[in-house]
A and B are shown apart, each in its own frame.
Chain A
Amino acid sequence: MAGKTLYDKLWDDHLVRQNEDGSALIYIDRQILHEVTSPQAFEGLRLAGRKPWRIDANLATPDHNVPTTERSAGVDKIEDPVSRIQVKTLDSNCDEFGITEFKMNDQRQGIVHVVGPEQGMTLPGTTVVCGDSHTSTHGAFGALAHGIGTSEVEHVLATQCLIAKKMKNMLVRVDGELGKGVTAKDVVLHIIGVIGTAGGTGYAIEFGGSAIRSISMEGRMTICNMAIEAGARVGLVAVDDTTIEYFRGRPYSPTGAQWDAAVEAWKELVSDEDARFDTLVEIKAEDIQPQVTWGTSPEMVAPVNALVPNPDAETDAVKADGIRRALQYMGLKADQKITDIQLDRVFIGSCTNSRIEDLRAAAEVVKGRKVAPTIKQALVVPGSGLVKAQAEAEGLDKVFVEAGLEWREPGCSMCLAMNPDKLGQGEHCASTSNRNFEGRQGFGGRTHLVSPAMAAAAAVTGHFVDVRELMQ
């Protein structure tokens, strides 16, 4: 019998019941809640007279709507009345049901996918869900984690289980050594460019190979975060020493004898040598260059020194039409140089790239330089209050401010523009976020996805530039 993949092991470990029709009940160890996708779930519980199955499996924090400017005046002073109601609704729901919440001005508040691992709420071998598609992030720790809809948020609150069907297994192996200036973000954008935005649909993708092993936990989170942009709800990286060391001393990590027992259990969280994957994708690390998206889907991506593609060269009619539509929306010409794209704004943040390592990488590039005069705004939004404090302890905030970038309070911010941080119509943004969909960062806004170092390089030059040229 063939061995098991990491996904197979996690699935088997959480199986409560397998039904004859192929559906199954799987147990959920952890649910993270935020203000946008939870109000209707709590309302559903109330209407049915139900209580949460297990309070201590849940953690909540507001992130999507919160302002990132000075906000010590509290939730009552959130300017947008609809946002204010949503944040207050999360607060009152958590109070009513007794769920632990890091409220807006708690230092532990932040983006759900930054906060969960940071607190040790996410742990190897757990199942983690959240009403947010980027929950795939937590798979970086060998956890089975994926986004769910609001009906499922309610279902997990009420039953501690999900009705699920087993996915297929895909292994994306990246072997070799990443070049200087090439980061985890470039790796995952390159992968999406190779397999396409629907390439992972129906799969749990495990990222493996020597290049992945050499990447830090922050970088692995960036990669798993964007598994969903390749269509896969689940991204995974096997547990190794890097994973285990990350959790030492986290607030919700086990301690003492339980830590030792946990570490023993976590070491099993790797795919067996003879595990069988339904699909294998092999990528050479040396082939990966700093990436920039030029279109309106994350698969519309190219190396920074490439040209914007020409739809006339595309043989598939639906794809050619997609390229034409994207170029028109983005205000770009076929065959123009990506380095000629002029930018209006820069956004460094989001659940993809707002951790300490991301901020360090961006600071290193802008240090001693100034934001280009043509850039209207360059934002740096840390992923949590604790990331912010760490960055300030390292003096990164001063580096950013001296270079002319704005240093903000934690939240999702301009990644999806539910708070006041947004693009104006027609504006181009170098963004470290995860989606370049039409209107995502603001009505008519034009998003280019890049790594933190590439965003920083764009901020100081006013257009895209190969960050390696600034690193010499």
Chain B
Amino acid sequence: MRKFTQHIGIAAPLDRANVDTDMIIPKQFLKSIKRAGFGPNLFDELRYLDEGQPDQDCAGRPLNKDFVLNKPRYLGTSVLLARENFGCGSSREHAPWALDDFGIRAIIAPSFADIFYNNCFKNGLLPIVLPEAQVDQLFKEVEATEGYQLTVDLERQVVVTPSGEEFAFEVDNFRKHCLLNGLDDIGLTLQHADEIKAYEARRRESAPWLFDAIK
């Protein structure tokens, strides 16, 4: 997994609550059996005026000029500002894959849906929860200033605005450790293989009906 330590990038405001994973990446693109290539279809129904199809070249499609990420001033956005309950809906990891492929590295919102939040960390993306008032302030600042950039420092757990103001955020120690070092979860878990085997042996004793039934 790619490491995340510090990131500086252009911020864009996506001003709506409850952005669901169908909106982030519509279902027709989930038919891919790959992990990459979802970026051109990120927010497909908001970004384009027509209905997108898998494997289609998006270069010639009609753009919705009103959509925030299509505005020239937000070209190259890598920090997404969002509203409450971002990423609600399905468990599709295609949502963080699409954000990542598009170039988003961090998402700041007052709250995230659980599964989406978890999926981000598996892909080197950092979801940041800040209080609503602070998110509001960032929305106002980014809209007022062209070229507005935010610094996200995971080591220090702060978001830094261009004026130097810092907003502290919380993150699980384990997730932070994995992101900072780009660690693979499976490799880490397999270090505890003996404990898993010991648990499994106990489970086989206490609930033997859960073993060898499905074949």
A residues engaging B (CB < 8 A)? 16-17, 19, 21-23, 25, 27, 29-30, 36-37, 39-40, 43, 48, 50, 53-59, 64-65, 80, 82-83, 85-86, 89, 100, 120-121, 123, 125-126, 131-133, 135, 146-152, 154-155, 158-161, 163, 165, 197-198, 201-202, 231, 233, 252-254, 258-259, 261-262, 265, 297, 318-319, 321-322, 325, 416-418, 435, 437-440, 443-444
Asked whether B85 lies within 8 Å of A231 as measured between CB atoms, the reply is yes
Q: With A25-B189, A418-B27 given, is the CB distance from A165 to B172 under 8 Å? A: yes
**A253: chain B residues within 8 A (beta carbon):** 209
**A159: chain B residues within 8 A (beta carbon):** 186, 189-190, 193, 196
**B83: chain A residues within 8 A (beta carbon):** 318
**B33: chain A residues within 8 A (beta carbon):** 39-40, 43, 85-86, 89
Q: Which of B9-32 contact A (CB under 8 A)?
A: 16-18, 20, 22-23, 26-28, 30-32
**A439: chain B residues within 8 A (beta carbon):** 22-23, 26, 45
Asked whether A252 lies within 8 Å of B214 as measured between CB atoms, the reply is yes
How many pairs of A and B residues are in contact by the CB < 8 Å rule?
A: 203
**A120: chain B residues within 8 A (beta carbon):** 213
In the A-B complex, the 3 residue pairs with the closest CB atoms: A254-B209, A151-B122, A149-B93
Answer whether residue B195 sits at the interface, using C-beta atoms and an 8 A cutoff: yes
Q: Which listed residue (B31, B32, B35, B212) contacts A56, Cβ 8 A?
A: B212
- The interface bits of chain B over 28-54 (1 if a CB of A lies within 8 angstroms of the residue's CB, else 0) are 101111110000000001000001001
Q: Taking the nearest CB of chain B, how far is it from the CB of A87, in angstroms? A: 10
**B115: chain A residues within 8 A (beta carbon):** 133, 146-149, 233
A320 to B8, CA, bound (A): 34
Asked whether A16 lies within 8 Å of B195 as measured between CB atoms, the reply is yes
Answer whether residue B156 sits at the interface, using C-beta atoms and an 8 A cutoff: no
Name which residue of chain A comes closest to B1, CB basis. A151
- The interface bits of chain B over 82-101 (1 if a CB of A lies within 8 angstroms of the residue's CB, else 0) are 01110011111100100000
Answer whether residue B210 sits at the interface, using C-beta atoms and an 8 A cutoff: yes
A417 to B195, CA, bound (A): 43
A407 to B55, CA, bound (A): 32
A16 to B192, CA, bound (A): 9
Q: Which listed residue (A100, A147, A321) contacts B214, Cβ 8 A?
A: A100
Additional pairs, 18, CB under 8 Å, beyond known A21-B172, A198-B88: A21-B174, A37-B92, A40-B93, A120-B213, A135-B91, A149-B118, A160-B200, A197-B18, A201-B113, A231-B88, A258-B209, A262-B207, A318-B17, A318-B83, A435-B90, A437-B22, A439-B23, A439-B26
A233 to B20, CA, bound (A): 15
Asked whether B91 lies within 8 Å of A22 as measured between CB atoms, the reply is no
Asked whether A155 lies within 8 Å of B93 as measured between CB atoms, the reply is no
**A198: chain B residues within 8 A (beta carbon):** 18, 84-85, 88, 111, 113
B interface residues, how many (CB within 8 angstroms) = 64
A148 to B22, CA, bound (A): 16
Asked whether B111 lies within 8 Å of A201 as measured between CB atoms, the reply is yes
Q: Taking the nearest CB of chain B, how far is it from the CB of A420, in angstroms? A: 11
Asked whether A163 lies within 8 Å of B174 as measured between CB atoms, the reply is yes
- The interface bits of chain B over 173-215 (1 if a CB of A lies within 8 angstroms of the residue's CB, else 0) are 1110100000001101110110110011001001111111111
Q: Taking the nearest CB of chain B, how far is it from the CB of A272, in angstroms? A: 20
28 contacts between A and B (CB under 8 A): A17-B195, A22-B173, A25-B189, A30-B210, A36-B30, A37-B92, A55-B215, A80-B31, A82-B32, A82-B54, A100-B215, A123-B210, A125-B207, A133-B89, A133-B115, A148-B115, A149-B91, A149-B96, A149-B115, A151-B93, A161-B189, A197-B85, A201-B85, A201-B111, A231-B88, A416-B22, A438-B45, A443-B26
